[in-house]
Amino acid sequence: MDLLTLVTEKYKKLLSENKIMGPDKLKESYEIFQKNFNPDRLKSLDGELLLETMFNHGNRGSLVYWLEFKNDDELQTNRFGGIGGGSAFKFGIYKRKEDGKWITGTPKDSRELSINEAIEMVREKRDLLVKGCDLLSGMKNDFEDSTYLKLQSDIDTQLENYGNLGWVHKYFHMMFPDKLDDFHSVDYQNFYLIKMREKPIKSDGRYALAGQFLRQSMKAGIPINNFTEVLFEIFGSVHNYWRIGTSDGKKSYWSEMLEGGYMSIGWPNLGDLHQLDNLSSKEAKDHIKKVLSDTNPNTPSAIGRAASQVHYFFRDIKPNDIVIASDGHKALGVGRVIGEYEYRKGLDFPHIINVKWQQLENTKLPNPAEGIRTTVNQYKDLDNLIAIEALIDLPASDNVEAVKSPQKTLDSLNGLIAQIESTLNRKKQIILYGPPGTGKTYWAEKACLELASRKAFRKTYEDLTIEEKFNMVANNDSNHIVRFCCFHPSYGYEDFIEGIKPTIINDQTVFSLKSGIFKKLCEDAKSNSEKNYYLIIDEINRGDISRIFGELIMLIEAGKRGKETILPLSGDSFSVPDNLYIIGTMNTADRSIALLDIALRRRFGFIELMPDYSIFTGITIEDLPVGLWLKELNKRIVEFVGRDARNLQIGHSYFMEKGVAIKDFDKFRKIVQEDVIPLIEEYCYGDYMTISKIIGSSFVDTNRQEINQDLFKSVNKADLIPALLEPNPEIATSSSVQVEDLEEEQLLESEDIIGEQKS
């Protein structure tokens, strides 16, 4: 399918789904902006009114507010290209919130303006906008490259650098949407032109490039705003293109990379680069330079280049980037990055990133010398970028050989586990918190097992053998890599770190020093640095954190890992290794985060888990749509229980078994009777009027102050469902109920047909 056909079909689909603005709404949005900020209106203003109208962010009717923040029925400015990033300094002048002073300059070199200076500055900026509008108004609408190159030249000459500011480009687009695109960054413009296999005519000219987009949108018959949105939907967000060397000069590592589904670089003496996670770019590069200079006789300039390449690999290469595996002028493979950086100890090239490869045969890029004699280099040459895009799309029957790796390539993580991994990499420990039954312990275990298996065995947990799974998880007395403990009021330092405990020897009580679960885990993690170790602390908020962690609370901090202290009882030197991670779970119905020890809160990351109703999509029990019913029940809990009620909602896990939503009526009945209602009684402190408002009046005898248990008898099946529906009977008309009924009717019809065929 050619690009224009693909764009047209995607446009129709997005339009039918109301994911992009239709022609009428687009026209209305442009007209309201032009009415408020057209050149004639700006020329009619002066003095402080001009200042306020153009550059006061606090004024919701100002130009800068409309360009960057306005998002309402009048104008959804984000739909017309972003200019975010940086600060208010990007406008050249802004009004400081604290004292109303007008400020100009840069974040490092700012200065206050007198009101007269500010007015004079804004007049100059206004006049430049007007001049730019005159240039655009007078240009031809022929979409020819020569026309737009002249526009770029005129703007550069007459507006100087002012015209190349993102917000100025957006203003001009809003005034002339038939002449300019709404990508307000040359990086975005170049990226999407490359994706369309169209070479940018002037890679640093945002006005010159506009004609190429307008020409294509005109061919497709789609407004430019919709056209760029469709390009984003098809090609995704901006990514980079990289050259990766595959040899150390003596040996090629391409076959290992290809078969293993990764790319890798050398410098094993640097160790795991995750140790640099919390350093700035300069600090990280300085650290790399120091290690390299201590172990390599290269010149400072060579060491500097090597440090930059390692830094690119570790920090700058991201999932979805495109990589060319190279050996000299030859392109050996093309691939898409599907993972984050990791360190694999024992390899000659131990720094790796997972890649989905396609092998290339007899392939060279148009300018093969770009990046040669480097290990990591970002491609910039436009001809090379277009050629790489063509290589990605080649079928296996052409000059691309699709490779099936002997070792299964690990797909990148997504969803909650990816979020947990990201937080653990940053903080080293995390707390999953939320109302009861929201899957906190389930997700803690699932995440630990998945992350640990990927590091230890290069497999997903699902792909592990029985023996490998056995080596993964265990209780607090084993040496396995995922371990559990549960805090409670009597749990102490002696259980967690070390303590003097009694044992019976020859019928005599003997007291001896014993290591706790955390100390043992730290020792094991130090001895096996090629693996990651995980400790799951269930109900972490039920223990006395300060007493349990003691003086070691500071050592778990990401920046303090590896630092040693002396344990007071044993006198042992102790540190927390970098490859140990902690996931705690916390039931907010018991205790809110605000009450946690401040020292603990600062050292942990936090992820909230709330009831997930999507699990019950399409699931009904005796015509009761479980997800909708639970959602409405929780709304009433929040409404009637009062303070902290958000933390007291009923979680989805109550209605699940072995990770799957229940569908059996009897199980559902028992859960409501034995779990849900007692919990609500506890929340309401015996206030049966409130209880009846939450679960329904049929369940409560307010005179006798008790729950009507007769409803839960199996013979009253027909009464229980209406009683549950009573507070919100309209949910019984949900489409999910109707769909299930339809499926049942179809099933009965098919059974009748089968019966007729048999008779």
134-145 confidence digits (pLDDT tens): 999 999 989 999
Q: What is the pLDDT of residue 408?
A: 52
Q: What is the pLDDT of residue 490?
A: 92
Sheet with strand 533-538: strands edge to edge: 473-474, 482-486, 533-538, 580-587, 429-434, 605-608
28 and 101 housed in the same domain: yes
The answer on pLDDT for 445 being more than 60 is: yes
203 lies in a domain?
yes
752 lies in a domain?
no
Query: Is residue 331 helix, strand or coil?
Result: strand
165 lies in a domain?
yes
When pLDDT is cut at 50, 70 and 90, the band that residue 634 belongs to is very high
461 and 571 housed in the same domain: yes
104 lies in a domain?
yes
Greater pLDDT, 599 or 453:
453
Question: How many domains is the chain partitioned into structurally?
Answer: 4
339 and 479 housed in the same domain: no
The answer on pLDDT for 580 being more than 90 is: yes
72 and 191 housed in the same domain: yes
Question: At residue 641, what is the residue type?
Answer: V
Token digits of residue 135: 């240039």
Q: What is the pLDDT of residue 400?
A: 43
C-alpha angle 536/540/542, rounded to 5°?
A: 145
756 lies in a domain?
no
121 and 209 housed in the same domain: yes
Q: What is the pLDDT of residue 718?
A: 72
Domain with 634, as residue range(s), is 613-739
10 lies in a domain?
yes
Q: What is the DSSP letter of 410?
A: P
Q: Please give the Cα distance from 190 to 147 (Å, whole number).
A: 19
Question: Which of 172, 38, 166, 54 is closest to 118 using CA atoms?
Answer: 54
Interval 275-296 mean pLDDT: 88
Q: What is the pLDDT of residue 128?
A: 97
When pLDDT is cut at 50, 70 and 90, the band that residue 757 belongs to is very low
Cα-only R_g, the chain: 32
Q: What is the pLDDT of residue 475?
A: 47
130 and 186 housed in the same domain: yes
Greater pLDDT, 408 or 576:
576
Q: What is the pLDDT of residue 313?
A: 96
Quick one: three-class SS letters along 480-497?
CCEEEEECCCCCCHHHHC
pLDDT 10s digits, 392-421: 864 433 444 444 444 455 677 888 999 999
The answer on pLDDT for 447 being more than 80 is: yes
89 and 196 housed in the same domain: yes
Q: What is the pLDDT of residue 399?
A: 47
The answer on pLDDT for 265 being more than 90 is: yes
26 lies in a domain?
yes
Q: What is the pLDDT of residue 608?
A: 93
249 and 127 housed in the same domain: no
Which among 220, 235, 250 is the end of a domain?
235
Q: What is the pLDDT of residue 127?
A: 97
554 and 421 housed in the same domain: yes
pLDDT 10s digits, 153-190: 999 999 988 999 999 999 999 999 999 999 999 999 99
Entry pTM? 0.67
Poorest-pLDDT segment among 160-169, 504-513, 725-734: 725-734
